[in-house]
Structure 1
Amino acid sequence: MTGPHLPMLRTRIDFFDACVASAVEYLRALWPEELTGVRIDVASFPPGEQGPDGVDRWRTDARTRRVVLYRVPIQRLAILHRDDDWHRRSYIESCVFRAVAELLGKDPWDIAPERYRHF
């Protein structure tokens, strides 16, 4: 419930989607040619069984030029030293940068030199 004197409600899903959109926009501005035709989607959970490295945070497919980020594992399995919006946003962005770097065969430090933070 909101009203003229109450702040708008912001859900975890809205926050996650906004962080992903911001990171993708940033990357598309830096790497327009490399990211032409790349689809970046968000899904709640990875399909199937847990992989050898645990629960997947994302999946890339070079053949279809697609990245799928899994919201629930990214949000729920993050170990942050400070649980605030800035650290949550930085972690989500770092997942986007790492997933896109994996798709492009580059290092995350190279694709997002001003914003990549390793968690």
Structure 2
Amino acid sequence: MPRSRRVAASRSPRRLARDRHGRGLRSPVTGPHLPLLQTRIDEFDLTVATTATYLRGLWPELEGVVFEVAQAPAEAIHDDHVDRWKVFHDERRITFFRLPIVRFLRLQEGEERDQKLLIESCVYRAVADLLGRDPWELSPGRYRHL
């Protein structure tokens, strides 16, 4: 079973600095005056977290639901589909599998927006499965053009 991480987990201190070969603690690559670099994993986690926060604001039933991100499930490939998320109704927990979601994209250069939309759509579909609703019902009026 893959190790899963909570979406809103804080960064571990060993990722920011460590002592190697007695040279002292290392500083971030970007220096003290620039923000830390954002990796693709960080962007994925941020997209899942912000979409989950938005949906929690609309649906009080999502209070207490745990959103997790894992690399990949142990048994993802089935005859007719590949799991991109897993909903645990009894535990009120949703686990998103980053690799199956991202690997099925066929992105060209500069199409990060499409990746963000795909991740958001996976969050919507997983939450809709948990609540027993249609994904389009989760955010009424959001896609209505004025």
Which bracket does the TM-score occupy, shorter chain normalised?
A: 0.7 to 0.9
Answering whether residue 55 of structure 2 is matched by residue 54 of structure 1, we say no
Measured in 1, the distance between the counterparts of 2:126 and 2:108 equals 22
Q: Which residue of 2 aligns with 1:2?
A: 30
Q: Is the 8 A contact 2:94 2:126 kept in 1?
A: yes
TM-score (norm 1): 0.83
Indicate the percent of aligned positions where both proteins have the same amino acid.
49
Task: Name the CA shift for 1:5/1:85 in 2 (closer, same or farther; >3 Å).
Answer: farther
Structure 1, unaligned runs of 5 or more:
none
Task: Name the CA shift for 1:46/1:79 in 2 (closer, same or farther; >3 Å).
Answer: same
Instruction: Give, in angstroms, the shift of residue 26 of structure 1.
Output: 0.3
Answering whether residue 70 of structure 2 is matched by residue 43 of structure 1, we say yes
1:23-58: CA deviation from partner (whole Å, max 9, x where unpaired): 0000000002x1122111111101225123332100
Answering whether residue 48 of structure 2 is matched by residue 11 of structure 1, we say no
Q: Which residue of 2 aligns with 1:77?
A: 104
Q: Which residue of 2 aligns with 1:88?
A: 115
Structure 2, unaligned runs of 5 or more:
1-28
Q: Is the 8 A contact 1:38 1:66 kept in 2?
A: yes
Instruction: Give, in angstroms, the shift of residue 7 of structure 1.
Output: 6.5
Q: What SS is found at the alignment partner of 2:119?
A: helix
Q: Is the 8 A contact 1:20 1:96 kept in 2?
A: yes
Instruction: Give, in angstroms, the shift of residue 86 of structure 1.
Output: 1.4
Q: Is the 8 A contact 2:77 2:83 kept in 1?
A: yes
TM-score (norm 2): 0.69
Aligned length: 114
Q: What SS is found at the alignment partner of 2:120?
A: helix
Work out which of the residue numbers 10, 23, 30 in structure 1 matches 2:51.
Answer: 23
Q: Could you say what the CA RMSD is over the residues aligned between the two structures, in angstroms?
A: 2.1
Measured in 1, the distance between the counterparts of 2:111 and 2:33 equals 24
1:56-78: CA deviation from partner (whole Å, max 9, x where unpaired): 10011111111110011111112
Measured in 1, the distance between the counterparts of 2:64 and 2:33 equals 43
| One-letter amino acid of the structure 1 residue matched with residue 53 of structure 2 | E
Identify the range of structure 1 (71-80 vs 23-32) with the bigger mean alpha-carbon deviation.
71-80
Q: Is the 8 A contact 2:82 2:100 kept in 1?
A: yes
